[in-house]
Structure 1
Amino acid sequence: MKIKSINFTVLLLICFALFTQYTSMAQTITREQFRDSVQKLPYFSIHKDNYFVTGIPTNREINGSSADAKYQVSFKQIITRDKLPWDTYLFLTYTQKAFWNIYEDSFPFRDINFNPSLSLGKPIFNKNEELKGLAVAAFDHESNGRDSISSRSWNRITFSYVTRIFKHTTANFEFWVPFQYKEGNSDILEYTGLGEINIEHELKPDKLYFTLMVRKGLNFEANGTFRPRIYFNPFKKNRSNQYFMLEWYLGQAEGLLNYKESQSMIRIGYVIKTNEFSFFR
């Protein structure tokens, strides 16, 4: 299945235009407030969303093999909260994502992806000493831990920039430089591209959020990813950042093992949502 109904190039251009037009918006956090916030952060915390979701395909027959569960565990360890040269901070991250065929008799794991990284973050301030964005450079390794013809892995240097583009909307722009990826998945960039855009809009504080992730593969075909999510918190108090999440994954490279396979999966489940970029809310 090709995603012919979605013009990823147009989406990327629109998002980039929004980025260049609105990143000059002033932020409300000063340099001193940011430093104080960093000192109060725990050394060990959530990195990306931690979730368990399950769902069904919309582009093929629904059965015990095509329906599945997906879960993710992700955390971050700050190595030092004292700023390094050039006003930077060093931290480690680890993310593990698994695809679990829970509707088959033996409950097999179809694919597990491991993604450790070493990252260097730098806050960006405007001329009024207000926080404008967060820039991160990271060394990323991702693999599925298998051998022989099922082995998949790639390394990349990733550059990202997070900023607020509207009053209740943040954007994370990522670009990566891949290396050592030819063995086992030499054409993976045709499906992952060289970057992605993540947009998050706060519909109701601590209650309702909408996010969108977009990628475009390095080819003239409609390979890439379009992944909207809705987060809803039904609880009166949300001290643990717990939500229910509805996700639609449309595209390729959801997992490493079958990165060429086109997916259209609707899933719903429980998530502990990351608040890593709550500075911009």
Structure 2
Amino acid sequence: MKGVLTGAFSFSRLAVSDESVDGTSLSFVFDPFYSGLVKTQTRDFFIIVFFLVSLLHGAMGRAEVSEDAKPGGEVPIQTPLASGHLYEDLKDRDDNTIFRHKPVYFAYSNPLTKVQLSFRSALIDDWPLYFGYTQVIFWKLGEDSKPFLDATYNPEFFYTWTIKGHKLKTLDLGIWEHQSNGKGGTDSRSFDQSYLRFNYAFETRSWVIAASAKLSYMYNNDQENQDIDDYIGPWEFNLKFIQVFPGIIDKSELGLTAHPGGQWGTDWAKGGYEVSYSFRLGGVRVVPAFYIQYFTGYGETLLTYNLKEDQYRFGLLF
């Protein structure tokens, strides 16, 4: 198992020695600065940070409630009936429990068509703790039986801290994220990670620039992908230009994603890079946007993470 520890102070490499097949001897060594530090301490660190952020959010929420209180100290009662019709309000509340998490699209190519489905759902009312799930399918539509080459199953639990009045809009604390292709034997691929993601937004008169930076710590690498962090580094950067051509093309969006490889995220030759563009044509009553995607590099599929790929795709963004 290899791991990369990312944080506010340093990066360090995790080396693991497995001396027996039955797992009776297992040692962890951090090199060069954290020798002897076990991975459970890192998990404890993220748990502590999570609860500190939760307490801070709760304190801020209580402060907002106190500001809204009446002069006599009475807090106004919030009614669940927004429209005055019980059935409609209950139905709306049920319909507003699942939201889109990452882009949802169907992108055709030969040999590999790519389908991505993703959602998130809040776990507690009025508390920004979420469960997210993303599934990416790589589909050989050009073959007779149309088999799936691989799929990535990606559940996660994360906490979102909303920041008001700043270019930094939200801060996501990924408590636990898992990626696996669901296969066994020599085709098995999986790893876990925890992360911090900074989400920014900058507005001009006619369009928006959205940017995010994700810093990750990878652990629990599967035996069959011990070197996966050579191809998927500890950081990922995403940049979006929204409403690029206002007045010409409706809701156009240009996206750029980069995840350099290497233990420190400095090996640009082994990373993965994606460019996408989506748009809607004015006057065409089609809800999905037209979608174009180009990927080059490593790590798009878990099964072939160490093989370089170049894929052009087109389809629909939902």
- 2:129·2:159 contact (CA, 8 Å) conserved in 1? yes
In structure 2, the partner of 1:47 is 101
Which residue matches 2:197?
Answer: 160
Supply the distance in 1 between the matched residues of 2:260 and 2:240 (Cα, whole angstroms): 19
1: CA distance, partners of 2:126 / 2:137: 35
The residue that corresponds to 1:269 in the other structure is 315
Please tell me the residue identity of whatever aligns with 2:117.
V
Tell me, what secondary structure is at the counterpart of 1:105? coil
Deviation for aligned residue 1:53: 0.8
- Decide which of 292, 302, 312 is 1:246's aligned counterpart: 292
Match among 147, 154, 166 for residue 115 of structure 1:
154
Partner SS for 1:207: strand
**Aligned mates of 2:162, 2:285 — CA distance in 1:** 28
- Distance in 2, matches of 1:237 and 1:54, equals 21
- Aligned mates of 2:284, 2:171 — CA distance in 1: 32
**CA distance in 2 between partners of 1:235 and 1:270 (Å):** 16
SS of the residue corresponding to residue 125 of structure 1 reads coil
Given residue 213 of structure 1, which amino acid in structure 2 is its aligned partner? T
Give the whole-Å Cα distance in 2 for the aligned partners of 1:77 and 1:131. Answer: 25
For residues 99-138 of structure 1, what are the alpha-carbon distances to aligned partners after superposition, in whole Å with 9 as ceiling and x for unaligned?
0101111111000110000111101234xxx674100111
1-structure distance, mates of 2:124, 2:155: 18
Equivalent position of 2:269 in the other structure: 222
Matches within 5 A, 1:137-216: 137-138=173-174, 139-165=176-202, 167=204, 168-202=208-242, 203-204=244-245, 206-216=250-260
Which 5+ residue runs of structure 1 have no aligned equivalent? 1-30, 33-39, 57-66, 84-88, 273-281
SS of 1:175's partner is strand
Counterpart contact for 2:189–2:222, Cα < 8 Å: no
Match of residue 75 from structure 2: none
1:104 counterpart SS class: coil
Residue in structure 2 matched with residue 70 of structure 1 by the alignment? 114
Structure 1 equivalent of residue 132 of structure 2:
93
- Code of the residue aligned with 2:290 in structure 1: it is F
Question: TM-score, with normalisation over the residues of structure 2?
Answer: 0.63
Aligned residues: CA RMSD: 2.4
1:239, distance to aligned residue in structure 2 (A): 9.3
CA deviations on 1:170-216 (whole Å, 9 max, x unpaired) are 10111110110151101101111011100000114652110000111
Identity of aligned residues (%): 26
Q: Point out the more displaced range, 161-170 or 262-271.
A: 161-170
Q: Is the 8 A contact 1:97 1:114 kept in 2?
A: yes
Q: 1 or 2 for the larger relative contact order (CA 8 Å, sep ≥6)?
A: 1
- The structure-2 alpha-carbon separation of the partners of 1:199 and 1:123, relative to structure 1 and needing over 3 Å to count, comes to same
Q: Is the 8 A contact 2:260 2:268 kept in 1?
A: no
Aligned amino acid, residue 269 of structure 1:
G
Tell me, which stretches of 5 or more residues in structure 2 are unaligned? 1-60, 65-92
- What whole-Å deviation, never above 9, does each CA across 1:134-153 have from its counterpart, x for those lacking one? 00111100100001100000
Pairs aligned (count): 217
Contact 2:167 2:202 in 1 (8 A): no
Q: What CA distance in whole angstroms lies between the structure 2 residues aligned with 1:123 and 1:238? A: 35
Spell out structure 1 runs of 4+ moving beyond 6 A. Answer: none
Post-superposition offset of 1:165 = 4.0
CA contact under 8 A between 2:254 and 2:278: conserved in structure 1? Answer: yes
